[in-house]
Structure 1
Amino acid sequence: MFLFWGISYFIEPLILAVVLALFVGLAPVLSKTPKGEKQLKLFMALTVIGYAAVLYAGYALLVNYAGYVPSLMAFALIFTAFGLVQYLIAPWLINFMYGARPAEEVAPWLKESVDRLALKAGFRKPPKAMVADVNIPNAFAYGNFLTGKYIAVTRGLLESMPREEVEAVIGHELGHHKHKDIWVILALSLAPMFIYYLGRMLMEWGFWSGAMERDRENSSMGLFFAGIILVAVAMILNFIILQFNRLREYYADLHGARVRGKREMQRALARIHVEMEKLKSNPLLKKELSEFTESPAKMLFIYAFVNTFADPYYDIDVLVEKLKREDGSSFLEIFMSHPPIPKRLRFLDTIEE
């Protein structure tokens, strides 16, 4: 990341405070749990419309102040290329970071499960099943057109969950591939990254050129205020992307329930949750847990790390019902990439298998 230590460094916290105030006000609406597939798709459509409207506002502002500037187009192309390079090399990096190995070398039944469930879900070619050498119970989907599609299940998940629940998790990850979530989130993430850095550059150019050249003060201040608005637009877009990602997690849960069963999907989510809470009290795994929760690939995981309760001795069906009754903070949810587990469980109650 590029760092600017000029005027934008001091103004950005003020912009963030204004944007946060906006989303705190919207939190009760944004945190509403969809009821059924139709309402979920409506929420996703409205989120995309909101993203497009904010992006268009940023584009209109840029054109109004800068017009068509070849150097800005080159700047946009550089960011696009940067994002595509990340996308292309990510599968190899993920395999290296998490020690992922083909499932047939570690757990042959896992490959059979992925192949069978992929066929049931309508895949022409099943994703490659991998086992990540990680103690943390989780799973993630990744890949691209060069490497093919992957589904990785951690060793910790295989050791803590019965087969039918592992298959529900596989169904969830198959949903991410089927819904093209990796591509979609990448595409949505490029614009705010470009707009954010462009906004900071305009703030610096506008402020310092206005301070040093009095005859250009009006145009320079125009660029300065345009930069402020562009940074705000980028922040708003990032919050919208988090909202969209939360909705896609519901969508993947829906797919897992359709492929392997609603009850199995609920049990899997609840079991991952309680196993994660138990690991937080294990001093030997604290470092690994911290690295995993702060991973740049965290938006790919099936589970987002939140604090509620952990019962070391539990009946999974009792736990599911107990979690359903929990209410989380709508304020905290606007910062999360995944919906809280209780809401995911309640959403699954509203769908038809």
Structure 2
Amino acid sequence: MFLWGPSFFIEPLLTALVLALMVGLSPIINKVPKGERGLKLFMGLTLLAYVLLLYSGYSLIASTIGFNATLMGFALFVTAFAVIQWLIAPWLINIMYRTKPAEEVEPRLAEMVKALAAKAGFKKPPKALVADVNIPNAFAYGNFLTGKYVAVTRGMLNVATEEELEAVIGHELGHHRHGDVWLILALSLAPMLIYYLGRVLVDWGFFSGATSRDERNEGSALMFVGMALLAIGIALNFVLLQFNRLREYYADLHGAKVSGKRNMQRALARIHLAFESLKSDPALKEEVARFVDSPAKMLFIYAFAEPFYDIDDIVERLKAERTNPIVELFMSHPPIPKRLRFLDAI
């Protein structure tokens, strides 16, 4: 793959075409699921779309270039790279967010995680951590080497009430219970492989067809196959973002079951307000930007406040807010107003 090859210029055009299709489908894609049954139906349909796109990509590969040793080596390399990232990610997150065991710095959080994990049916509770970050948020992560973690930021501990904190922890426990950490990784491997293979074939086809007529014909064929795979890879990434948004609803559902849906709504509204307030604070501008652009943002409860307000009034106001369906296509989390409306339906 060449950094400045034709794939570099073709990719934005294909992205625009796929985006146009997704925008056309957004009234269907971006509907708020109606309760738990509606959510599970949406997740099933999204997985079906994922499988159909994946099948079309693999069928195209099988019927054109075939699954040869070079391709298998490429797939192995991409998979190994992703798995290594997953294995070392917990240590990197702990360093990046300066986490400390809750038993040492916030014993009440450690006890809360243990109690809620037992209530949710966990045989072994995740390790509770406090992230030394002023932004109110929480995240679930870990693997079989490090164990499971639930991290809550210092900012969250400062703004949330006891009941809201329970709802937030219930949300993160939901991610662990539903296996979201490894599931999203597994589903992201195929789009990554198809996307990069598409870019390689576009560039390879362009530069290999620069001499004889036969080579030009072969090169053109490879380019078209590469463009199709690139489009499929881009579409799969949009589908994966949609699936991740649905898993956030699913974790909200778990948080509501553990702590009550009103507490879950209040927690989401309070995080939203606190985050909006912090964005205007010059002293925290850099920290907020780091959170917004973090590679671990899919793990957070809020994808991106004052203490003197009625949180229930804010919940109702946020529920009435309209959201931008095009912006949502690029989000890893559903907008807060839609998450609040979903909780009303359970």
- Per the normalisation by structure 1, the TM-score is 0.96
Q: What residue in structure 1 maps to residue 115 of structure 2? A: 116
Residue 211 of structure 1 aligns to a residue whose secondary structure is coil
Residue 209 of structure 2 aligns to a residue whose secondary structure is helix
Deviation track 1:39-87 (CA, whole Å, cap 9, x = no partner) reads: 1000000000000000100000111111121110010011111111011
Provide the rounded CA distance (Å) in 2 between the counterparts of 1:44 and 1:3.
Answer: 37
Does the 8 Å contact 2:274/2:306 carry over to 1?
A: no
Q: What residue in structure 2 maps to residue 29 of structure 1? A: 28
Over 3 Å counting, the alpha-carbon distance change for 1:131 and 1:3 in structure 2 is: farther
Q: What residue in structure 2 maps to residue 79 of structure 1? A: 78
The RMSD of aligned alpha carbons is 1.1
Amino acid aligned to 1:194: L
Provide the rounded CA distance (Å) in 1 between the counterparts of 2:298 and 2:2.
Answer: 24
Q: What residue in structure 1 maps to residue 315 of structure 2? A: 320
Deviation track 1:98-144 (CA, whole Å, cap 9, x = no partner) reads: 00000011110101000010011110000000000000000000000
The answer to whether residue 56 in structure 2 is matched with residue 61 in structure 1 is no
Residue 210 of structure 2 aligns to a residue whose secondary structure is helix
Q: What residue in structure 2 maps to residue 183 of structure 1? A: 182
Q: What residue in structure 2 maps to residue 332 of structure 1? A: 327
Q: What residue in structure 2 maps to residue 348 of structure 1? A: 343
Q: What residue in structure 1 maps to residue 264 of structure 2? A: 265
Consecutive unaligned residues in structure 2, runs of 5 or more:
none
Does the 8 Å contact 1:278/1:312 carry over to 2?
A: no
Provide the rounded CA distance (Å) in 1 between the counterparts of 2:64 and 2:246.
Answer: 35
Provide the rounded CA distance (Å) in 2 between the counterparts of 1:272 and 1:213.
Answer: 62
Amino acid aligned to 1:347: F
- Tell me which moved more, 232-241 or 7-16: 7-16
Does the 8 Å contact 1:103/1:129 carry over to 2?
A: yes
Does the 8 Å contact 1:34/1:347 carry over to 2?
A: yes
- 1:205-220 pair list within 5 angstroms: 205-220=204-219
Provide the rounded CA distance (Å) in 2 between the counterparts of 1:313 and 1:3.
Answer: 55
Q: What residue in structure 1 maps to residue 202 of structure 2? A: 203
Provide the rounded CA distance (Å) in 1 between the counterparts of 2:178 and 2:228.
Answer: 33
Provide the rounded CA distance (Å) in 1 between the counterparts of 2:71 and 2:325.
Answer: 38
Q: What residue in structure 2 maps to residue 157 of structure 1? A: 156
Q: What residue in structure 1 maps to residue 96 of structure 2? A: 97
Amino acid aligned to 2:104: E
- Tell me which moved more, 205-214 or 106-115: 205-214
Amino acid aligned to 2:47: V
Deviation track 1:8-61 (CA, whole Å, cap 9, x = no partner) reads: 111111111111111111111111000100010000000000000001000001
Deviation track 1:171-224 (CA, whole Å, cap 9, x = no partner) reads: 000000000001110011111111111111101111111122322222221111
Provide the rounded CA distance (Å) in 2 between the counterparts of 1:68 and 1:340.
Answer: 41
Q: What residue in structure 2 maps to residue 244 of structure 1? A: 243
The answer to whether residue 13 in structure 2 is matched with residue 14 in structure 1 is yes
Q: What residue in structure 2 maps to residue 169 of structure 1? A: 168
Consecutive unaligned residues in structure 1, runs of 5 or more:
none
Q: What residue in structure 1 maps to residue 227 of structure 2? A: 228
Amino acid aligned to 2:67: Y
Shift of 1:322: 0.8
Shift of 1:300: 0.3
Does the 8 Å contact 1:266/1:348 carry over to 2?
A: yes
Over 3 Å counting, the alpha-carbon distance change for 1:3 and 1:349 in structure 2 is: farther
Equivalences, count: 346
Runs of 4+ aligned residues of structure 1 deviating over 3 Å after TM superposition are: 310-313
Shift of 1:342: 0.7
Over 3 Å counting, the alpha-carbon distance change for 1:213 and 1:205 in structure 2 is: farther
Q: Percent identity of the aligned residues?
A: 66
Provide the rounded CA distance (Å) in 2 between the counterparts of 1:51 and 1:19.
Answer: 14
Provide the rounded CA distance (Å) in 1 between the counterparts of 2:259 and 2:286.
Answer: 34
Amino acid aligned to 1:45: G
Amino acid aligned to 2:112: S
Amino acid aligned to 1:265: M
Amino acid aligned to 1:216: E
- Tell me which moved more, 211-220 or 191-200: 211-220
Over 3 Å counting, the alpha-carbon distance change for 1:317 and 1:21 in structure 2 is: same
Provide the rounded CA distance (Å) in 1 between the counterparts of 2:175 and 2:2.
Answer: 33
Deviation track 1:213-265 (CA, whole Å, cap 9, x = no partner) reads: 32222222111100001110110000000000000000000000001111110
Amino acid aligned to 2:14: I
Amino acid aligned to 1:349: D
Provide the rounded CA distance (Å) in 2 between the counterparts of 1:185 and 1:195.
Answer: 16
